[in-house]
Amino acid sequence: MTEIYSTGKICPYKIPNCDLAKEGLTLEPGIENIMSSSKDYDELLYAWSKWRDATGAKMKDLYKKYVQLSNDEAKANNFSDKGEYWRFAYEDPHFVENIDTIWKEVEPLYNELHKYVGNKLKDRYGPKLDMKDGLLPAHVFGNMWAQSWEHLRDILEPFPNAGQMNVDAEMKKQGYTLLEMFKKADEFYQSLGLYSMEMCYNESAGAMIRKPTDGREVLCHASAWDFCDKKTFRLKMCTDVTFEDFRTIHHEMGHIQYYLQYKHLSHTFREGANPAFHEAVGDTMALSVSTPTHLKKIKLLNNFDESYESDINTLMNMALEKISFLPFGLLIDKWRWDVFSGAVQADKWNSHWWHYRMKYQKVKPPIERSDTRDFDPGAKYHIPGDSQYIAYFVAHILQFQFYKSLCIEAKQYDPHNRAVPLHRCDFYNSVAAGDKLK
């Protein structure tokens, strides 16, 4: 299944009958660039549907076998199914109820954001965009899975005339290299008194930080690896010179730093407090790195004046990345738990997927979907990749708690002083914050 996903290609929109081997587009960076930059409704629909044809539709039978084998393994270890086995890591008998409670708390904010985005998208696409039922087509959010809406910021910023944070353009203007991006992220961690992670992005030692050009087929999905020998740690990523990838590097290095912090323990104890902690560490760093305060320090944001209007734009951009993600982070494993438990049978897997996407994300398929032909969950890496996902939902909550705590420790935020808001905090260069994290 992961081979199907990693080698999936589609023909360009204007060359629908291309030679896939020579002209086909892979997900990263080709198809994702289309989803993030195109404003053509029909081109987005084409890329969205063809990617699902190239991946999920080809793996449904394999997924049936995977579910059976996964459940066999779980039952052999005294769990009722794979879903219960995954949830066990959170050591909370009320875990499902607790995440539902968290969702209910943030859902009203998500709904307001969804309505705002829908109205702006209606202005862009006109009658092509049918939102009478309160649902938006899943292909128009600037992301293959509608899990992040940050690429819509050009039409969503409340104050377009306020200072612009075009970090991508500044990185290209300064001639940033891929290696520079990794070194800059590593330096951020070291400024907190944490370990150097040079070994994890050293290409001569085996790290993959760029897409190979020698014809090799690789899985580009960014990931961090602990080789369990207390000295070998690697990052794998098909990096582009973009601010999005710059933040992703900080996220993945969070995993590496966690590996380094517990490498001296026996193997049994070399894991996070729960899976969400591992995801939250790097995301906490990315929150600090994303602030105008930090970007000015590292000279990636010039001629930018902070004001009420720019603050609101910054918070909107944060919402487009963080709030937009929450329902997607919740529904993936809700769907899988139902699949593993047998609550939904294989002949209804795809319609059940869209039931959850409509219920939580309030998005709908832009074209007709089928339970016999389509398997849309398989178009997201973590489904064929056997990687649990609810950790990302929990981490999106934890990271703000971690961030607030580190900001207080770094004396960059005082909850009793409203004159300096939390979202302006940058704990860069604070060894005290690093000690708190450790």
Q: Are residues 56 and 139 in the same domain?
A: yes
Give me the torsion for CA of 26, 27, 30, 35, rounded to 10°. 150
Dihedral-angle region of residue 303 (phi above 0 means left; psi in -120 to 50 means alpha; beta otherwise)? left
Q: Are residues 225 and 351 in the same domain?
A: no
Q: Are residues 298 and 425 in the same domain?
A: yes
Question: Max Cα separation, the chain?
Answer: 62
Alpha carbon separation from 310 to 134, 151, 163, 171, 307 (Å, rounded): 30, 18, 6, 20, 5
Q: Are residues 17 and 101 in the same domain?
A: yes
Which residues span the domain enclosing 147? 2-163+324-388
Does a structural domain hold residue 312? no
Q: Are residues 248 and 358 in the same domain?
A: no
pLDDT of amino acid 206 = 87
pLDDT of amino acid 398 = 96
| Rg of the chain taking only CA atoms, in angstroms | 22
CB 111 within 8 A of CB 323: no
Q: Are residues 146 and 126 in the same domain?
A: yes
Does a structural domain hold residue 309? no
**Burial grade of 359 (CB within 10 A; 0-12, 13-18, 19 or more):** exposed
Q: Are residues 114 and 184 in the same domain?
A: no
Q: What pTM value is reported for the model?
A: 0.89
Q: Are residues 36 and 78 in the same domain?
A: yes
Does a structural domain hold residue 315? no
CA atoms within 13 A on the CB side of 359: 13
User: For 195, which DSSP code?
Assistant: P
Q: Are residues 206 and 85 in the same domain?
A: no
Q: Are residues 175 and 159 in the same domain?
A: no
Q: Are residues 37 and 116 in the same domain?
A: yes
Does a structural domain hold residue 131? yes
**Taking CA 78 as the corner, what is the angle to CA 72 and CA 80, rounded to the nearest 5 degrees?**
65
pLDDT of amino acid 215 = 79
Active site residue 252: yes
Domain end: 349, 371, 388, which one? 388
Annotated binding site: 90, 251, 255, 279
Does a structural domain hold residue 203? yes
Tokens of 116: 């705002």
Does a structural domain hold residue 12? yes
Q: Are residues 264 and 381 in the same domain?
A: no
Tokens of 29: 């960076």
Annotated binding site for Zn(2+): 251, 255, 279
Name the 3-class secondary structure at 234: strand
Domain end: 388, 406, 426, which one? 388
Dihedral-angle region of residue 211 (phi above 0 means left; psi in -120 to 50 means alpha; beta otherwise)? beta
Active site residue 91: no
pLDDT averaged per 10 residues in sequence order, the chain, 438 residues: 92 91 88 94 97 96 97 97 96 96 98 96 94 95 96 92 84 95 97 96 91 83 92 94 94 95 92 91 93 93 86 93 97 98 97 98 97 96 95 96 97 92 95 95
Does a structural domain hold residue 317? no
The total domain count for the chain is: 2
Cis peptide before 108 (omega within 30 of 0): no
pLDDT of amino acid 306 = 83
pLDDT of amino acid 94 = 96
Annotated binding site for chloride: 90
Name residues whose C-beta falls within 8 Å of residue 166's C-beta, 6 or more positions apart in sequence.
none
User: For 131, which DSSP code?
Assistant: -
Does a structural domain hold residue 184? yes
Candidates 28, 252, 321, 409; catalytic one: 252
pLDDT of amino acid 319 = 96
pLDDT of amino acid 165 = 79
